[in-house]
Amino acid sequence: MCGIVGYIGQQPAPPIILEGLQKLEYRGYDSAGICTIDGGQAHIRRSKGKLVNLARLLAAVPMQGSVAIGHTRWATHGKPTETNAHPHKAGPVVLVHNGIIENYLTLKKDLHCNNHNFKSDTDTEVIAHLIEHEMVRGSGFEEAVRAALQELKGAYAVCLVSETEPGMMIAAKHGSPLVVGLGDREFMVASDIPPILPHTREMVFLEDDEMVVFKDGSARFSTVSGDSLTKIARHIDWSPLLAEKDGYRHFMLKEIFEQPRTVQDTLAGRLLEDEEDVCLEDLGLNDSELAQVRRICIVACGTSWHSGLVGKYLLEEHCRLPVEVDIASEFRYRNPVIGPETLLIAISQSGETADTLAAVREATIRGARTISICNVIDSSIARETEGVIYTHAGPEIGVASTKAFVTQLVALYLLMLRLGRVGGSITLERMLPHFATLLHLPALMERALRLDSAAESIARRYQHAGDFLYLGRGINYPIALEGALKMKELSYIHAEGYPAGEMKHGPIALIDENLPVVVLALKDRHYQKVISNMEEVIARGGRVIAICTEGDNEVALKAESVMYLPECSEWIAPILLSIPLQLLAYHMSSIKGNDVDQPRNLAKSVTVE
């Protein structure tokens, strides 16, 4: 996730772009850049780190021009360096981009053969070269943009200028958001509404494969392939703060609803359907090194540890390798038995958690192979492990992890497929159903998000409870732990997660008519056993909130409250189950008037012990 912004009009563009980027910094903040067209020439300034660095640069060396584009980056391809920062230029063409170009390596290879030299490691630079290539072959700027965009696979929102057309700006999108602001002979584009609000409230939301060309004080809409379009502007009367959260009351809710899109980003370019294989571009270990792995050890903290627990079920079942999952703060002081045949997987959203980083260092000293699953590009853990699977979830602002967690689960699923292929435990025949499952996942997640209002009613009903119990079995047991963690950290209500089969060994003593018990009862191999556990709770007066499969009337008759999820493969059930549990905790916190995005005593990144 990155933020892009563009302006064309009569006013000095650089301050407008800078102010716009400030409002998009929540979308990424590892580097930023701006390009103005002034005197027929493109002038570019870029800087690594937060936007304030770019602002300082502009204050020291001001820019002129009333056409400009800007970018704030959340790195996906290429480290967060000045060279990789946008805008990218090839010949006369300059652009900013939000999204992931999945076929960039193939395109780059072809362009190399045509004498194009690349300065950055980004997927984005390929687009600039493709357009330049078309222009060298005789196309005008607009025609070249259309031709190039039709070659791209993946997601993009782009804003482009060219030294050959100093009074023109072009924007287009496929898969990433793009809003167009229509002023009086001035126009803006941005990844989101907030940068546009101070300038105009008349906005057009571009659909996929649509494009807009600004020239001579007018905006001309068309499809990327060239059919003209009439777009109706909407009047947006949101307050600036509401707009930053995309209309949601809290960042956490926005991030919950973003999850289908983020999962698509995690999968982008990684499922190679033609080759029936999975590509994990920065994995670090080659096939023969992966084949030598005899044991896996996963280390993480908090929510990331829960994703590691799900990973154990996936990896043991499909790769037939023994997997241990450790809390990083325990692992680092435990004299663990690991060596060159152990693959240590560190899972961390921030990539900076002190205990997880220390566990990586400990494992490295003991000779284990190390990889990580991180969200923040080039973070310490990503750097200190031999390879990394980036989750591409974009910045997570809510302190309680949601979208980072589900994308960690997807990353583990992808790793399981890769290891299974290399080790021979997943045959080609068994691979394809997994592809279908993953490709269908975002649509199922959209359906799970429809539980929002049911989750809110349930939160209201149980808002005075002093404790909650969460029960699950098998691969969904870690989700019971995660549901309980979300509830306690957000609502400050005490909550425990348990494997349902453990009930008889102690926790059943807690059950009385005041205890809500969340039972994860999907139709899977443990279904009948979970139902028995649920009956035990009901028999003792416990109040069951069941999450079950659509059409399951048996559970509906027994439980006090029910939420239904669509039928799904058991391997993605943890992802779908997470959604109603996140929503339940979110609403409980919001009803209680807590600070949802920054719960008390917590920090987003725990960089101290």
Query: Active-site positions?
Result: 2, 604
Distance CA 524, CA 570 (A): 6
Give the nearest distance from C-beta 209 to ligand F6R in angstroms. Answer: 36
In the region spanning residues 197 to 226, those forming contacts with ligand F6R, defined by CB under 6 A, are none
Closer to ligand F6R at the Cβ: 319 or 485? 485
Give the nearest distance from C-beta 304 to ligand F6R in angstroms. Answer: 4
Q: Which of these ranges, 109-117, 134-142, 179-187, 347-355, lies near ligand F6R under the rule CB under 6 A?
A: 347-355
Q: How many residues bind ligand F6R (CB under 6 A)?
A: 15
Using a 10 angstrom Cβ sphere, with 0-12 exposed, 13-18 middle and 19 or more buried, the burial of residue 427 is exposed
Tokens, residue 9: 């009009």
Closer to ligand F6R at the Cβ: 181 or 472? 472
- Each residue 578-607 as x (binds ligand F6R by CB under 6 A) or -, in order, gives ---------------------------xx-
Closer to ligand F6R at the Cβ: 350 or 578? 350
**CA end-to-end span of the chain:** 30
Tell which residue, 300, 306, 375, 379, has the closest CA to residue 345.
Answer: 300
Tell which residue, 49, 52, 45, has the closest CA to residue 70.
Answer: 45
Give the nearest distance from C-beta 97 to ligand F6R in angstroms. Answer: 27
In the region spanning residues 543 to 572, those forming contacts with ligand F6R, defined by CB under 6 A, are none
Instruction: Work out which of 72, 200, 356, 407 binds ligand F6R, going by CB under 6 A.
Output: 356
Q: Which of these ranges, 344-352, 445-453, 496-504, 583-591, lies near ligand F6R under the rule CB under 6 A?
A: 344-352
Distance CA 348, CA 358 (A): 12
Instruction: Work out which of 401, 561, 578, 582 binds ligand F6R, going by CB under 6 A.
Output: 401
Give the nearest distance from C-beta 582 to ligand F6R in angstroms. Answer: 10
Distance CA 440, CA 459 (A): 29
Quickly list H helices, 193-301: 240-244, 251-257, 259-267, 287-291
3-state secondary structure labels for all residues of 177-198: CCEEEECCCCEEEECCCCCCCC
Residues 6+ apart with CB under 8 A from 291: 422, 423
Closer to ligand F6R at the Cβ: 53 or 364? 364
Q: Please give the residue whose beta carbon sits closest to ligand F6R in the complex.
A: 302
Closer to ligand F6R at the Cβ: 4 or 301? 301
Closer to ligand F6R at the Cβ: 349 or 578? 349
Q: Which of these ranges, 92-100, 129-137, 139-147, 343-351, lies near ligand F6R under the rule CB under 6 A?
A: 343-351
Closer to ligand F6R at the Cβ: 76 or 353? 353
Tokens, residue 525: 């191999």
Neighbour order of strands in the sheet with 41-48: 41-48, 31-38, 67-73, 3-8, 187-190, 179-182, 202-205, 234-235
How crowded is residue 193: how many other Cβ atoms within 10 Å of its Cβ?
22
Give the nearest distance from C-beta 376 to ligand F6R in angstroms. Answer: 8
Q: Which of these ranges, 50-58, 241-249, 349-357, 449-457, lies near ligand F6R under the rule CB under 6 A?
A: 349-357
In the region spanning residues 508 to 547, those forming contacts with ligand F6R, defined by CB under 6 A, are none
Give the nearest distance from C-beta 510 to ligand F6R in angstroms. Answer: 24
Give the nearest distance from C-beta 607 to ligand F6R in angstroms. Answer: 9
Rounded to 5 degrees, what angle do the CA atoms 27, 206, 77 make? 40
Rounded to 5 degrees, what angle do the CA atoms 57, 75, 371 make? 135
Output the furthest CA–CA distance in the chain (Å, rounded): 80
* DSSP-assigned letter for residue 20: H
Tell which residue, 101, 448, 79, has the closest CA to residue 265.
Answer: 101
Three-state DSSP state, 56? helix
Q: Which of these ranges, 135-143, 175-183, 190-198, 295-303, lies near ligand F6R under the rule CB under 6 A?
A: 295-303
Give the nearest distance from C-beta 597 to ligand F6R in angstroms. Answer: 12
Distance CA 233, CA 205 (A): 8
Give the nearest distance from C-beta 438 to ligand F6R in angstroms. Answer: 22
- Rg, C-alpha atoms of the chain: 25
Give the nearest distance from C-beta 609 to ligand F6R in angstroms. Answer: 12
Q: Does 68 bind ligand F6R (CB under 6 A)?
A: no
Tell which residue, 200, 212, 204, has the closest CA to residue 234.
Answer: 204
Sign of CA dihedral 567, 570, 572, 577: positive
- Each residue 467-496 as x (binds ligand F6R by CB under 6 A) or -, in order, gives ------------------x---x-------
Tell which residue, 590, 409, 375, has the closest CA to residue 482.
Answer: 409
Closer to ligand F6R at the Cβ: 397 or 508? 397
In the region spanning residues 226 to 255, those forming contacts with ligand F6R, defined by CB under 6 A, are none
Using a 10 angstrom Cβ sphere, with 0-12 exposed, 13-18 middle and 19 or more buried, the burial of residue 539 is exposed
Q: Does 196 bind ligand F6R (CB under 6 A)?
A: no
Q: Does 349 bind ligand F6R (CB under 6 A)?
A: yes
Closer to ligand F6R at the Cβ: 359 or 459? 359
Q: Does 72 bind ligand F6R (CB under 6 A)?
A: no
Q: Does 400 bind ligand F6R (CB under 6 A)?
A: yes
Closer to ligand F6R at the Cβ: 34 or 410? 410
E strand or H helix that includes residue 600:
none
Instruction: Work out which of 47, 84, 266, 350 binds ligand F6R, going by CB under 6 A.
Output: 350
Residue 87: asked if its preceding bond is cis (omega within 30°), the reply is: yes
Tell which residue, 97, 91, 70, 60, has the closest CA to residue 5.
Answer: 70
- Each residue 297-326 as x (binds ligand F6R by CB under 6 A) or -, in order, gives ----xxxx----------------------
Interface residues toward ligand F6R, by CB under 6 A: 301-304, 348-350, 353, 356, 400-401, 485, 489, 605-606
